[in-house]
Amino acid sequence: MQDRCFFLLCNCPKKTLLILTLLMVTFFKFQMFGGFVLMLSWNYCNYKQNQNNFQSLFCLLIFREAMRNYLKERGDQTVLILHAKVAQKSYGNEKRFFCPPPCVYLMGSGWKKKKEQMERDGCTEQESQPCAFIGIGNSDQEMQQLNLEGKNYCTAKTLYISDSDKRKHFMLSVKMFYGNSDDIGVFLSKRIKVISKPSKKKQSLKNADLDDDESEGEEFTVRDGYIHYGQTVKLVCSVTGMALPRLIIRKVDKQTALLDADDPVSQLHKCAFYLKDTERMYLCLSQERIIQFQATPCPKEPNKEMINDGASWTIISTDKAEYTFYEGMGPVHAPVTPVPVVESLQLNGGGDVAMLELTGQNFTPNLRVWFGDVEAETMYRCAESMLCVVPDISAFREGWRWVRQPVQVPVTLVRNDGIIYSTSLTFTYTPEPGPRPHCSAAGAILRANSSLMASSETNTNSEGSYTNVSTNPTNVTSSTATVVS
């Protein structure tokens, strides 16, 4: 419905626009659209000079309400690509598949809502199903189809890079569309380094969760240093915090686990995880499930135990690329990519001239910065940098002079066709320290004429004002970090 309203307002004649203005203002009792009424009236008087501005104001009014709905519901669609930081090159006719295989996850409630909306619009279940192909970028190798049917993730188990490909780095390319051929876009992974073969040097891993000679009932103590074969380790999920039982990491050589190896653990070398205090039970992967596998003793070599392929693991550094978007004004015909990614924020200046600098990737001139449901004046610099004017605190809080609590608003990017890109970053307006105004005095001022109120708002150093101060940009790279203003 929202996208149809958007199209109607941008294409109807000027008399209809004026009538719609009056109806909208009457219906929402001047509250939803704030101070836009005077702007709209002024713009109608100058309609012949600037028709586009008049129509764009209507779009802004409707989109502000769409932004409020988005901030309330948060129906994001997220594409997450997980992959190794290095890939081993294949020579001749061999195919050394990427290990671990790259994974693609579709996260967020927006995917389900999008599917339901497409089916309400007449699409079949197959037409509303996302489809994906993955490849290694500029290569003659054909892209491989990913199986997303009935689930929100898939793996690419047969990707490889041949020796005829002379690139030293590459990025995975995931092309997505719906079953009815509507394009979603092309999503890129982080850079992957190409290596010829694993290094024989002992590139030891720094200890993460490691301990020695402790029973399962005792507290696990993390020690500093490098991990060596034969030591006790714990594998902990970085997302959920869930941990496996204590394991002993062992070196693998030709399908056998070496019981007496004690050299440092290196990346890209084979290893096995023995479940401590069990009868030769090892951690094993079987048909995408984690199971326990019982090894077989070697008759002639008591220091070795025979294991299968699923119990042989490779330790490797990994990376991820995450892209989040939302169709704020309904379905769009253009791909949602490139998805902008904001990596850091830097506040410059203060008072009425506070500027926020955004640093990241994939910025384009058709993006605007929003603070909550308020659009900010935005200046495009390049694909890695944008500037915007920080909106006044009065845009978010009525009677803000008598509020002594910080006001926090989310920072989002919006494309000119209504696509909303969440940044997971926030901006906080913090009041200046000072005595809290007396309630009776505040009431007297509020009852005074509006001109007195307007003149007092121009004094940025008066009691109850909010002053912008700069903060360390490294503090705004996480989802909970803020820029203090």
pLDDT profile of the chain (485 residues), mean per 10: 42 50 44 37 42 58 88 94 94 90 96 94 94 88 88 92 92 96 96 82 49 50 84 89 93 94 90 95 92 94 94 92 95 95 91 89 97 95 96 80 82 95 92 58 48 39 37 32 41
Sign of CA dihedral 412, 416, 418, 421: negative
User: Amino acid identity, residue 216?
Assistant: E
Give the list of residues 6+ apart from residue 394 with CB closer than 8 angstroms, or none: 400, 457
Q: How far apart are CA 75 and CA 73, in angstroms?
A: 6
Residue with tokens 């379905």: 331
Quote the pLDDT of residue 58. 59
Quote the pLDDT of residue 194. 95
Q: Which helix (H) or strand (E) holds 58?
A: helix 51-73
pTM of the model: 0.73
Quote the pLDDT of residue 485. 35
β-pairing verdict for 153-155 and 103-107: antiparallel
Q: Which tokens in the block code for residue 485?
A: 């203003």
Q: How far apart are CA 133 and CA 33, in angstroms?
A: 44
Quote the pLDDT of residue 63. 85
Residue with tokens 């594998």: 235
Quote the pLDDT of residue 353. 81
Quote the pLDDT of residue 198. 66
Q: How far apart are CA 317 and CA 56, in angstroms?
A: 48
Longest dimension (CA), the chain: 98
Quote the pLDDT of residue 446. 46
Distances (CA, A) of 15 to 7, 50, 58, 245, 461: 16, 15, 14, 72, 45
Identify the structural domains of the chain with CATH numbers, from first to last. 1-73 (no CATH), 77-195 (2.60.40.1450), 210-314 (2.80.10.50), 340-485 (2.60.40.10)
Residue (of 327, 329, 320, 324) closest to 341 by Cα position: 324
Residue (of 61, 65, 21, 15) closest to 41 by Cα position: 21
